[in-house]
Amino acid sequence: MRSTGSVAVLLLIRIALVRSEERYNVSCEDTISTEDCAFMKEYDWCEDDIDFLQRKCDYTCGWCSKNDDECTDRALYLDCSKVTPQRCLKYAQFYSTRCRKSCNWCGGVPRGIWKEWSAWSECSHSCSEGVRMRSRHCLAEGCKGDSADIEKCKIKDCATWGDWSAWGACDSTCGKGSQNRTRICSAEGKCPGNADESKDCNLHPLQAKGVKFCVWSACSRSCGGGTRSKVSYCPLPDPKKCPTTYEDCNTHKCPYKKCIEYRYRSDESACCADIGDGCQNRASRRVIGGTIAKPKQFAWMARLEAVGGRPGTRFRRLFCGGSLIHPLFILTAAHCFDNITPDHIQVLLGAISRDDTSTLTQRKSVAAITKHPHYSDLTSLNDIALLRLASPATTTDFVRPVCLPKGEETKIDTSCFVAGWGFTRAHVPLSSPNLMEAKVRHLPFGVCLKGHKSSPFGPSMNSSSMLCAGTIAGGVDTCRGDSGGPIMCQRCSSCEWYVAGVTSFGAIKCGIANVPAVYTRVIHYEDWINEVVNVHDPLGVVCNQI
């Protein structure tokens, strides 16, 4: 029987076998009795843990001979005959004393046998690339190779910055400003340094060659809507070509004025002739029908319709507008007729609705189309044309010609009007069922030059044959379907209407800020208009707004 003390010792040994941290520190050379050794052998405890048996218990139990000259298998708890050559080599330090005969090492343990590599050390860096190490020991002299091994390692990627973005726009167009750029960290909040940075920009002089930078000019009008401008910087040697910024100013209503006649939609703030307005001698006052009434207001408006289909299924579709300037002639735009012939056109006069079939309206066929001989669809230069009606229009209160400029220049910031049946919203491709009118201003031509500089027509634009009109802030404009229609102004010295321009082109998205529409300047083509009319009427164009 095993004594109680022996059992206690064996339990301690078993605990040591399970606890890997402690079992390698067990020293049983002087504590295990012969009886305990026999008990361990009987239950094969030592065979279960080869690492433990590599210690000194087998010597204490007398299972291995300490006499190296004697070539025998001494591990009584092992069957050395079943140990493979590979295992002999792998655990040479252990088997060299226990299974020397079975491992065929009676002549001595082979030289140059390495012990197994140790576990890898931790990576030298917690992120990005580092190195780790391991080592091994030679069990006998003559080992070939290195006792240490090093390799690269990476636990994870470190937080890194992405590329800088492009520099943003300068926050000031005058004097000293700043512009910013940003970058993004791969792990938010863990990259060293800043996510954004700034630098100075637009450090331009405040004045060069007589041009004051960054200073708004005086508004062109004290009320009713004017224009002002400023030069932010000037990289060009010619100050007259400096990039200029424009904006609306003093758009509030003008004070009430008491006078005999008022300009159209002036809210009784502008008389037909103002003292000191720079006009010439006042001409005779003429207002259509004696009062301003919408059905008669723009009695010269012409609706140009394309006619198609077979008899009984005929259709009419708006494609452009125009102005009656003579009983036989409609003034319009040349680009309206790039793909249409006279026999497919009808002209509706005297109507303020496309569905108006009353006896007050007149529908006319077209006998001929005369485009300006130097019209170019590539540049939109000379975008003007005349339609000769198959029969003269009858002058009534609802159908009446409009005057030509007769040499009158339209002053900058003069309030004028446009009218037409075109789109009322740029993103909705539907023409208006009713004649629409809008109040616009004759703007400095530089506004349109800047707004249309990237359009195909930009390089060919000029102020001698074109004029710019609308509002700088946007929201009021002509649109598709209004081409060929007039921009109409009242004479400087009276309320007589004249057609100052013909709607030519504008922004694709009608009504956007800083891109007003461009009109063919009629005063530049008055001689050509009269030459065409004189062929059929020696008197030419005679205006009778009475």
**For the domain that residue 321 is a member of, what is the CATH number?**
2.40.10.10
Query: What local confidence, expressed as pLDDT, does residue 99 receive?
Result: 87
Query: What local confidence, expressed as pLDDT, does residue 280 receive?
Result: 35
Residue span of the structural domain in which 89 resides: 4-98
34-42 vs 4-18: helix crossing angle, rounded to 10: 60
Q: Pairing mode, if any, of strands 329-332 and 385-389?
A: antiparallel
Is residue 278 a part of any domain in this protein? Answer: no
Report the predicted TM-score, pTM, of the whole model to 2 decimal places: 0.61
Same domain, 245 and 315: no
Q: Are 488 and 418 in contact (CB under 8 A)?
A: yes
- How does DSSP classify residue 241? G
Same domain, 519 and 420: yes
- Per-residue pLDDT 10s for the chain (546 aa) are 444 444 444 444 444 443 333 333 333 344 455 566 655 555 444 444 544 544 446 656 655 545 556 788 887 778 888 888 888 887 877 787 788 888 888 877 777 778 778 899 989 888 878 899 999 887 766 788 888 999 999 888 788 888 889 988 877 766 667 889 999 887 776 788 888 888 887 655 555 556 677 788 899 888 988 999 888 766 666 656 677 889 999 989 888 888 878 888 887 788 887 544 434 333 333 222 223 337 788 999 999 999 887 666 677 888 999 999 999 999 999 999 988 999 999 999 998 888 777 888 999 999 999 999 999 999 999 999 999 999 999 999 899 999 999 989 999 999 999 999 888 776 666 778 889 888 899 999 999 999 999 899 999 999 999 999 999 998 888 888 899 999 999 988 788 999 999 999 998 888 899 999 999 999 999 999 999 999 999 888 887 654
Of all residues in the chain, what percent are helix, strand and coil, respectively (each to 5)? 15, 25, 60
CA 274 to chain centre: 49
Q: Which of 373, 389, 405 is the last residue of a domain?
A: 389
Same domain, 421 and 385: no
Same domain, 423 and 499: yes
Catalytic sites, residue numbers: 335, 383, 483
Same domain, 434 and 372: no
Q: Are 176 and 203 in contact (CB under 8 A)?
A: yes
Question: Helix/strand/coil (H, E, C) string of 334-373?
Answer: HHHHCCCCHHHEEEEECCCECCCCCCCCEEEEEEEEEECC
Distances (CA, A) of 99 to 57, 68, 192: 16, 12, 61
Is residue 171 a part of any domain in this protein? Answer: no
Q: Are 220 and 205 in contact (CB under 8 A)?
A: no
Query: What local confidence, expressed as pLDDT, does residue 487 receive?
Result: 96
Is residue 39 a part of any domain in this protein? Answer: yes
Same domain, 423 and 383: no
Q: Which of 69, 98, 127 is the last residue of a domain?
A: 98
* Gap between the Cα atoms of 327 and 243, Å rounded: 45
Same domain, 463 and 510: yes
Q: What is the number of alpha carbons within 13 Å of residue 128 lying toward its C-beta? A: 4
Same domain, 237 and 339: no
Render pLDDT for 354-385 as a digit per residue (tens, 0 to 9). 877 788 899 999 999 999 999 999 999 999 99
The structure tokens listed for 463 are 């102020």
Is residue 273 a part of any domain in this protein? Answer: no
Is residue 398 a part of any domain in this protein? Answer: no
Query: What local confidence, expressed as pLDDT, does residue 462 receive?
Result: 95
Query: What local confidence, expressed as pLDDT, does residue 2 receive?
Result: 41
Same domain, 421 and 517: yes
Is residue 118 a part of any domain in this protein? Answer: no
Same domain, 517 and 451: yes
Distances (CA, A) of 442 to 274, 463, 501: 19, 12, 10
- State the chain's mean pLDDT as an integer: 79
Residues with Cβ within 8 Å of 210's Cβ and at least 6 positions away in sequence, in order, are: 239
Per the listing, tokens 């309320």 go with: 495
Nearest Cα residue to 196 out of 217, 168, 238: 168
Domain count, the chain: 4
Same domain, 451 and 520: yes
* Gap between the Cα atoms of 480 and 485, Å rounded: 11
Sign of CA dihedral 331, 336, 342, 348: negative
Q: Pairing mode, if any, of strands 517-521 and 466-470?
A: antiparallel
Is residue 165 a part of any domain in this protein? Answer: no
Is residue 193 a part of any domain in this protein? Answer: no
Q: Which of 196, 230, 249 is the last residue of a domain?
A: 249
Q: What is 119-188 written as a DSSP string?
A: PPPPPS-SSSSEEEEEE--BSSTT--S-SEEEEEE-SSPPP-B-PPPPP---S-SSSSEEEEEE--BSST
Query: What local confidence, expressed as pLDDT, does residue 426 receive?
Result: 60
Query: What local confidence, expressed as pLDDT, does residue 544 receive?
Result: 62
Same domain, 426 and 479: yes
Nearest Cα residue to 58 out of 110, 108, 94: 94
Phi and psi angles of residue 17, each rounded to the nearest 5 degrees, phi first: -65, -35
